[in-house]
């Protein structure tokens, strides 16, 4: 062959077989991250989602049924009846619990079998069976569940930013995946979204030069950012000079394992963070976001959602999505689960490096039989105070 | 951690990895149940389904083509042409057989290659090839096929209940999955439905308190039931006291491997069973039901289908399905293939226990080179008489 | 059992487990055929497909983005950004290249990273990364790409039939899979279609007696055919007697690895071949066809597509497709990937035998570190002249 032409370098032919860091992304029971995530409480619905109609919820790859018995107790049980396996979605909610449609076994919110109407004498051995269930707690408009080992169940944390109200403020909850930039159920791995929380550099690119200034002009310039680990997770502190010579100082936090503590990107006011988002891994390849925040009017949280030319995301055409991408497009565009072997981190990715390092640290702790960061077993633990907020400095 | 709170017991976290009894449910050639099922004749269509238009049928995981040649002989052949593998669905039915669209090879109902028009002299070596085929027989309005080892092909059974007619009665066939409670093709494993046949206890729960009294009031009360194995399968004998002090005595039979011998649940009359349903496993994750029965008017079988507020199943909303589930919801609700490891049988499940035990017994027989229950190689075998029926006793 | 009835022979029960010749059909990098195919240039779009809107293309199982920078250079890059893996489909085309939407890295058509706006000083280490890319060339209205080992990149061949114009002729390109008999993307393995090119015998069956005389009457009779390997691939030479005692002589060629060199089956004139079709394997289970040909009027290529009673393929009903199948039905009817173990070749399949043998020969050459048939590294190589055409002989 002719040797005159230079050999092409860096072509796709030389790529190695791609690989995923399974430890960091998979969420099923028995996987490293699945076990780590199971050491914390996760939101599984709005308080009103638990009612007299059994509701399918999918959490960390588990299919569950949420309901509220006639005594007002919320229950979260394995979807398949422990008798013959049909789904309790077709069950009937009664005063004392949830009754399976097939043979009428009645379970309370702790999975106790109270009745077996097809059995002699109503089931003399019904104490021998138990419908798998999970403990729940209701707070901040949300229902939280604990899917982990019973002897490691921590307290459900209290957050200062949702406890100390300003004038006329109250806490509202939202289940529409605010912050996800797309539909309620987002079809990619949760970590792709969560890493975005410690990535303030993408804002002026994706959310300004690409989408048009999606947020406020104050966010459109490239910030100076420092990243640091905290006792809760990763803190990113950004500074930008303002036109009047002051400093716009913005702090965002990723609080392990899944909390987005991100001040309003529209910077309506300079103040401490007003909401928390919980990224809920539905399974390995989809997630959703629950948010609770201080508001002054019902619906304030929903009004934080971005619009494009007055359109919701679902109203945009494919062409508009291509020309004006947002977080959804950037993160789902990484694939169902991104190929970590193909990544090339730079200095601006330092937040991700710290975040992954902290996750690896927690995986090691759990593997060693220790408790991961941020869990407490002491009911008198003080409310958690975040550093996050938008601030102005002279 | 605090030890004050009691440890939660019976939560989902303690569930073991689920498992399926493959031996009992999988139907492909070479699997234990697949081989057992292949020792019997199965309905694969209505008699009229075999005609001059090739018809796709899927049976026990095999893709086949059903047709009827110009001489009136029904044929059932492997869907892929033995020449180059294109589907004979696009073939043309002729006087002597079915001709492939691609190169015109003509096959008779026994797979003999009669013509090879692209070959020299019409194909001097056409005897060297054979299109895989299966023997069929037509009876009771249905086409039955035998997919098993040729040297174990039994006679096609004759059933007394479809032979001895009452006044004005004739046999009608139906292919719409009567008894399945849903669409024609039901997306779950066949055994989930078949086990329901020996489960009379679910009737007063699922078909009365849940759906409203779907059948007759006589069926709405909890019966006394005895289960027993028979020379054909499993017999369930239910008794209920009637308001006038008599005894309503109902017998249902599961006749191995797939026959539903279930008297009309609407109890139009007290009499021996009037129809047989054959559960046909399409593949591991779907099935359909063929029925043949004695009727007085064409369409009587179809009129046995349940309605809800005058609606067919397909006309009901998702909300109506959730609030008023039936057999379809209960069985498909167990999943594509139920997780047997999660089941907890009780005394009312004794019919299933006997049924599975009988299946295991037949699997062992086949594995030992013996013939399973109910097969006969003697053409003079007497018609099979069932015990099933609705009866009244003083 | 009774031994009176003869044992059924040749039933489907005796079929062996089917198998696929992976070496011949799979197209990913690292597979034998995938590596062979990567020694040649393949069309990946029309010239106009490379423009200022990033375009998804899938070639040999690889997801790529096609674009054209502001300087008019076409680029073809790995779809996932080498930084954090989001798809460059959402990127912005600029003067010097394609900019990722997420963090703004700018890549030129050779994958060089020109800007990293989130990095200090615009990215001092941007030379350390390279976006995987592939070389492209534009010719005959098409964009060709080379996805193989850089040191084995051959010249892009020149074809006489697309260089030497007749009176008023010019070259037109088409991307609608002319010759595939169906939609643009055809859901089966590419080889099922490509083997059809060396199968002239199917024409009088599939395209005449089945579909009605789809082409010209001259094609409806069974030809005499000889098959031969050539320095380019496989040649099929068919002769048919015409009504006026002359000989209709037709030559088709399969030019390795994927060229269809097939004269117009409508035989508008007796002349050398006027077009080339390239079968592009999209992945293992789908392909499309690009065509370039000499025409006199724009749109002439598209007018070659077959119609049925004036209907396009997509306008036909399922019933019409079943009764009047064409190439699409015959080839897709073989399955996503045909089961080679079930084939029975006859004398009329000799073209396929030679074709597969030639492919096996090339696989062996590549495995031995040699170059396969038809590649040249000499830019002064003469245009390739085909034998293909429709001719008339006295």
Contact between chains at B330 and A123 (C-beta distance less than 8 A) = no
As beta bridge partners, residue B143 has: B45, B138
- According to DSSP, residue A308 is labeled B
Mean pLDDT check: name the lowest of C107-111, C204-208, C212-216: C212-216
Mean pLDDT calculated for residue range A223-246: 93
Contact between chains at B83 and C9 (C-beta distance less than 8 A) = no
Mean pLDDT check: name the lowest of A262-266, A351-355, A382-386, C180-184: A262-266
Mean pLDDT calculated for residue range B367-371: 97
pLDDT of residue B217: 67
Neighbouring residues of B107: CB distance < 8 A, sequence distance ≥ 6: B75, B77, B88, B97, B98, B99, B100, B113, B114, B131, B133
pLDDT of residue B208: 81
Mean pLDDT calculated for residue range A178-186: 96
**Tokens, residue B245:** 């002090």
**Interface contact A61, partner B, CB < 8 A:** no
pLDDT of residue B220: 77
pLDDT of residue C265: 78
Does residue A333 surpass a pLDDT of 80? yes
Contact between chains at A62 and B338 (C-beta distance less than 8 A) = no
Q: What percent of chain A has pLDDT over 70?
A: 97
- According to DSSP, residue B367 is labeled H
Is B133 in contact with C11 (CB distance < 8 Å)? yes
DSSP string over A323-362: HS--HHHHHHTT-SS--GGG----GGGHHHHHHHHHHHHH
Please report which confidence band the pLDDT of residue C5 belongs to, taking 50, 70 and 90 as the band edges.
Answer: low
Does residue A373 surpass a pLDDT of 90? yes
Q: What angle do CA C145, C150, C155 make, to 5 degrees?
A: 55
Q: Which one is predicted more confidently, B241 or B278?
A: B278
For residue B184, the SS3 value is coil
Residues 269-328 of chain C with CB under 8 A from chain B are: 321-322, 325
**Tokens, residue B336:** 């594509």
Contact between chains at A103 and B348 (C-beta distance less than 8 A) = yes
Residues 375-394 of chain C with CB under 8 A from chain A are: 377-379
**Tokens, residue A159:** 């957050």
**Interface contact C63, partner A, CB < 8 A:** no
Among B2, B201, B339, beta carbon nearest to A377: B2
Identify the chains in contact with A, defined as 3+ C-beta pairs within 8 A. B, C
Does residue C71 surpass a pLDDT of 50? yes
pLDDT tens digits for range C248-266: 999 999 999 999 999 987 7
**Interface test with chain B among A118, A130, A131, A377, by most B beta carbons within 10 Å:** A118
Mean pLDDT check: name the lowest of A203-207, B84-88, B112-116: A203-207
pLDDT tens digits for range B184-200: 999 999 999 999 999 99
**Interface contact C109, partner A, CB < 8 A:** no
Closest Cα in chain C, distance from residue B283 (Å): 16
Distance CA C338, CA C355 (A): 16
Reading across the β-sheet that carries C62-68, which strands appear in turn?
C55-59, C62-68, C74-78, C133-134
Contact between chains at C84 and A12 (C-beta distance less than 8 A) = no
Contact between chains at C205 and B118 (C-beta distance less than 8 A) = yes
Residues 221-240 of chain B with CB under 8 A from chain A are: 222
Contact between chains at B82 and C342 (C-beta distance less than 8 A) = yes
Mean pLDDT calculated for residue range B266-293: 94
Contact between chains at A201 and C103 (C-beta distance less than 8 A) = yes
Does residue B112 surpass a pLDDT of 60? yes
**Interface contact C94, partner A, CB < 8 A:** no
Q: Which one is predicted more confidently, C246 or B212?
A: C246
Closest Cα in chain A, distance from residue B203 (Å): 8
C-chain CB neighbours of A343 within 8 Å are 83-85
Identify the chains in contact with B, defined as 3+ C-beta pairs within 8 A. A, C
Among A5, A13, A330, beta carbon nearest to C102: A330
Closest Cα in chain B, distance from residue C331 (Å): 7
Mean pLDDT calculated for residue range C122-138: 96
Per-residue buried b or exposed e for C165-186, using 16+ beta carbons within 10 Å of the residue's own CB: eeeeeebbbbbebbbbbbeeeb
pLDDT of residue C1: 42
pLDDT of residue B214: 60
Rounded mean pLDDT of chain C? 94
Contact between chains at B132 and C15 (C-beta distance less than 8 A) = yes
Contact between chains at A205 and C110 (C-beta distance less than 8 A) = no
**Interface test with chain A among B5, B8, B199, by most A beta carbons within 10 Å:** B8
pLDDT tens digits for range A264-318: 877 778 899 999 999 999 999 999 999 999 999 999 999 888 888 889 999 999 9
Contact between chains at B347 and A134 (C-beta distance less than 8 A) = no
Of the candidates B121, B85, B143, B147, the one whose C-alpha atom is nearest the C-alpha of residue B292 is B143
A-chain CB neighbours of B349 within 8 Å are 84
Distance CA A188, CA A193 (A): 8
| Calculated CA dihedral for residues B343, B347, B348, B350, nearest 10 degrees | 80
pLDDT of residue C394: 84
Closest Cα in chain A, distance from residue C303 (Å): 30
Assign 3-class secondary structure to chain C.
CCCCCCCCCCEHHHCCCCCCCHHHHCCCCCCHHHHHHCCCEEEEEEHHHCCCCCEEEEECCEEEEEEECCCCCEEEEECECCCCCCEHHHCEECCCCEECCCCCCEECCCCEEEECCCCHHHCCCHHHCECCEECEEEECCEEEEECCCHHHCCCCCCEHHHCCCCCCCEEEEECCCCCCCCCCCECCCHHHHHHHCCCCCHHHHHHHHHCCCCCCHHHCCCCEEEEEECCCEEEEEEEEECCCCCEEEEEEEEECCCEEECCCCCCCCCEECCEEEEEEEEECCEEEEEEEEEECCCCCCHHHCCCECCECHHHCCHHHHHHCCCHHHHHHCCCCCCCHHHCCCCHHHHHHHHHHHHHHHHHHHHHCCCCCCCCCCCCCCCCECCCCEEEEEC
A-chain residue closest to B337, CA distance: A85
Closest Cα in chain A, distance from residue C284 (Å): 17
pLDDT of residue B1: 42
For residue B218, the SS3 value is helix
Mean pLDDT calculated for residue range A41-59: 98
Among B117, B123, B134, beta carbon nearest to C11: B134
Closest Cα in chain C, distance from residue B86 (Å): 4
Is B87 in contact with C332 (CB distance < 8 Å)? no
What Cα–Cα distance (Å) separates residue B363 from each residue in A224, B150, B192? 72, 18, 18
User: Contacts for C303-309 with beta carbons within 8 Å, 24 or more apart?
Assistant: C304/C178, C304/C264, C304/C266, C305/C176, C305/C178, C306/C181, C306/C214, C306/C215, C308/C211, C308/C212
Among A89, A151, A379, beta carbon nearest to B322: A89
Mean pLDDT check: name the lowest of B261-275, B285-299, C233-247: B261-275
C-chain residue closest to B375, CA distance: C1
Of the candidates A83, A104, A95, A86, the one whose C-alpha atom is nearest the C-alpha of residue B222 is A104
B-chain residue closest to C323, CA distance: B90
Please report which confidence band the pLDDT of residue A213 belongs to, taking 50, 70 and 90 as the band edges.
Answer: low
**Interface test with chain B among A86, A127, A128, by most B beta carbons within 10 Å:** A86
Contact between chains at C13 and B149 (C-beta distance less than 8 A) = yes
pLDDT of residue A215: 62
Identify the chains in contact with C, defined as 3+ C-beta pairs within 8 A. A, B
Instruction: Bin A365: left if φ > 0, else alpha if -120 < ψ < 50, else beta.
Output: alpha
**Interface contact C118, partner A, CB < 8 A:** yes
A-chain CB neighbours of B206 within 8 Å are 101-103
**Tokens, residue B261:** 């011998």
**Tokens, residue C381:** 């190589």
For residue A37, the SS3 value is helix
Distance CA A19, CA A27 (A): 17
Mean pLDDT calculated for residue range B304-309: 84
**Tokens, residue B21:** 């009894």
**Interface contact B245, partner C, CB < 8 A:** no
A-chain CB neighbours of C77 within 8 Å are 12
pLDDT tens digits for range A256-278: 999 999 998 777 788 999 999 99
Its ipTM equals 0.95
């Amino acid at each position: 062959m002719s040797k005159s032409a230079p050999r092409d370098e860096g072509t796709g032919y030389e790529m190695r077989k791609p690989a995923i860091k399974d430890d960091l992304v998979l969420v099923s029971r028995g996987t490293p991250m699945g076990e780590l995530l199971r050491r914390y409480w996760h939101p599984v619905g709005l308080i009103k989602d638990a009612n007299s109609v059994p509701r399918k919820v999918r959490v960390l790859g588990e299919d569950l049924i949420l309901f509220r018995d006639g005594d007002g107790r919320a229950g979260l049980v394995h979807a398949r009846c422990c008798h013959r396996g049909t789904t309790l979605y077709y069950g009937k909610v009664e005063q004392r619990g949830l009754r399976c449609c097939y043979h009428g076994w009645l379970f309370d919110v702790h999975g106790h079998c109270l009745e077996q109407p097809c059995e002699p004498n109503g089931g003399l051995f019904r104490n021998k069976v138990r419908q798998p269930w999970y403990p729940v707690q209701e707070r901040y408009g949300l229902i939280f569940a604990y899917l982990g080992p019973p002897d490691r169940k921590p307290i459900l944390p209290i957050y200062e930013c949702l406890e100390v109200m300003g004038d006329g403020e109250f806490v509202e909850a939202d289940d529409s995946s605010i912050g996800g930039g797309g539909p309620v159920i987002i079809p990619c791995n949760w970590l792709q979204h969560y890493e975005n929380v410690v990535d303030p550099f993408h804002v002026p690119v994706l959310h300004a030069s690409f989408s048009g200034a999606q947020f406020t002009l104050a966010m459109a310039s490239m910030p100076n950012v420092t990243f640091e680990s905290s006792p809760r997770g990763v803190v990113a502190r950004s500074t930008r000079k303002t036109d009047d010579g002051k400093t716009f100082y913005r702090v965002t936090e990723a609080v392990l394992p899944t909390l987005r503590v991100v001040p309003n990107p529209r910077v309506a006011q300079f103040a401490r963070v007003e909401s928390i988002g919980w990224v809920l891994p539905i399974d390995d390849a989809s997630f959703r976001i629950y948010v609770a925040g201080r508001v002054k009017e019902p619906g304030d949280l929903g009004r934080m959602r971005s619009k494009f030319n007055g359109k919701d995301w679902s109203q945009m055409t494919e062409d508009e999505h291509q020309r004006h991408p947002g977080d959804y497009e950037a993160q789902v565009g990484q694939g169902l689960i991104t190929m970590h072997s193909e990544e090339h981190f730079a200095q601006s990715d330092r937040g991700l490096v710290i975040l992954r390092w902290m996750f690896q640290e927690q995986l090691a702790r759990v593997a060693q039989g220790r408790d991961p960061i941020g869990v407490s077993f002491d009911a008198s633990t003080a409310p958690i105070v975040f550093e996050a907020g938008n601030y102005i400095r002279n």
